[in-house]
Amino acid sequence: MFFDLHRHLEGTLRVATTRALAVRDGHRLAAVDDLDDLLVARGPLGGLVPFLAKVDAAPAAFSRLEDWQRAGRECVEDAAAEGLDYLEIRFAPWFIRQETGLAPEGVIDAVADGVRAASAETGVRTALIGILLRDLGPECGLDQVDTLLSRRDLFCAVDLAGNEGGVPAADFAPAFARARDAGLHVTVHAGEGAGPESVWAAVRHLGAERIGHGVRAAEDPALLEHLAARGITLEVALTSNLHTSVAPSYAAHPVRRLLAAGVPVALCTDDPRASATTLPAEFEAAREAGLTDADLAAVRVNAREAAFG
C-alpha cells in the first residue's frame, strides 16, 4: 500500500504540459531554452527558497481554469502510474491567483473537478488540502482561509507553506483557529527551512496534527518526546530535503533518529516533478537512509493511520 500524504499540485505540473500551455499562450516560459533545468532540481540547491523557485515557476503557464482541471487530472494519473493507493494533494489557491490572475474559488473548483474525474477513472483515492501562503502575510491569512471555507466540503485539511524563514507561524493563529472551527484538519510546514522552534510554534499556536517535513525536530529531544507522545506524524520527503540542503545525503538524513525516538514518520514526495521522484523511489531512498524492512512497514502503517481523507 502506497499512501502519499504530502504532495504539492504545483510541484507535479508536468514539464511537457507547462511547455505546451506556454506555447499556446505565447507565454515567456515558451522561450526558455532548458525548461527542465528551470523546473527540476538535479542536486542540492543550498536552501528552501531556490527549491521553491523551481516548484513555483510552472503555475504561471496554467492561465485558464480548464488548465487547472487538467493539472488535477494529470496529477492523479501520474500517481496511478506510480502505483499509489491514496494521495493527499495540496495547493495554494492564492498563490495560483498571484501567478495567473485567476479567481482562487474557480481554481479550487477546477482542480477538484479534474482530481475527482481521474480518481474515479484510476481508482486512486484522493483528498485535497488547502494551503495558506506564509509569504502573503498574516492579515491575508484570514482571507485565504475564507476562500478555502467557501469550498469547505472539497477540503480535508489546511496547511501553511512558503518561506519558513519569513513570517512566523504564530501570526497565523487566528486563521488556523477559523479553519479548525470549521472542522478542517491541520498540517503545517515546519522544521525544514527553520529549526525546532518552528515546529513547536506549529503545534502550540496552529494546532498542527501533522508536520510537513519537521526533520529538524531531531535537534531537540524534548520536541521529539512531545511529537511521539502526541502521535504527531512527520511528513518526511527525503529527496526534497536533499534538494533544499536540509540533509547533506540520504545516509546522513535524521529520519532514523526520528523513528528511533518513537515519532511517527510517513514517507512523502513533496514535489515529484521538481525533485524528479516518485513515492516508490522515496522508499528506495529510505533504504539508503538506513531504514530496515521493519521500519518501512511501520512507515506504511503510520501513513495510513495519519491520513486525513
Alpha carbon 44 to chain centroid, angstroms: 19
- Catalytic residue (one of 192, 209, 235, 282): 192
Q: Is 185 in contact with 88 (CB distance < 8 Å)?
A: no
Q: Smaller CB distance to Zn ion: residue 63 or 126?
A: 126
Say how many residues touch Zn ion, by CB under 5 A. 2
259-288 residues near Zn ion, rule: CB under 5 A = 270
Residue positions counted in the chain: 309
Catalytic-residue membership of 10: no
Minimum distance from residue 126 beta carbon to Zn ion (Å): 17
Q: Smaller CB distance to Zn ion: residue 141 or 212?
A: 212
58-97 residues near Zn ion, rule: CB under 5 A = none
Q: Smaller CB distance to Zn ion: residue 67 or 270?
A: 270
Nearest by Cα to 203 from 263, 135, 152, 143: 263
Which positions ≥6 away from 187 have C-beta within 8 Å?
A: 5, 6, 129, 157, 158, 159, 208, 209, 210, 211, 212, 235, 308
> Binding mask 206-225 vs Zn ion (x if CB under 5 A, - otherwise)?
------x-------------
Which positions ≥6 away from 75 have C-beta within 8 Å?
A: 7, 9, 12, 87, 89, 114, 115, 118
Q: Smaller CB distance to Zn ion: residue 122 or 245?
A: 245
Q: Is 245 in contact with 46 (CB distance < 8 Å)?
A: yes
**Using rule CB under 5 A, residue 56 touches Zn ion:** no
Minimum distance from residue 228 beta carbon to Zn ion (Å): 22
Contact residues: Zn ion, CB under 5 A: 212, 270
Residues marked as catalytic = 192
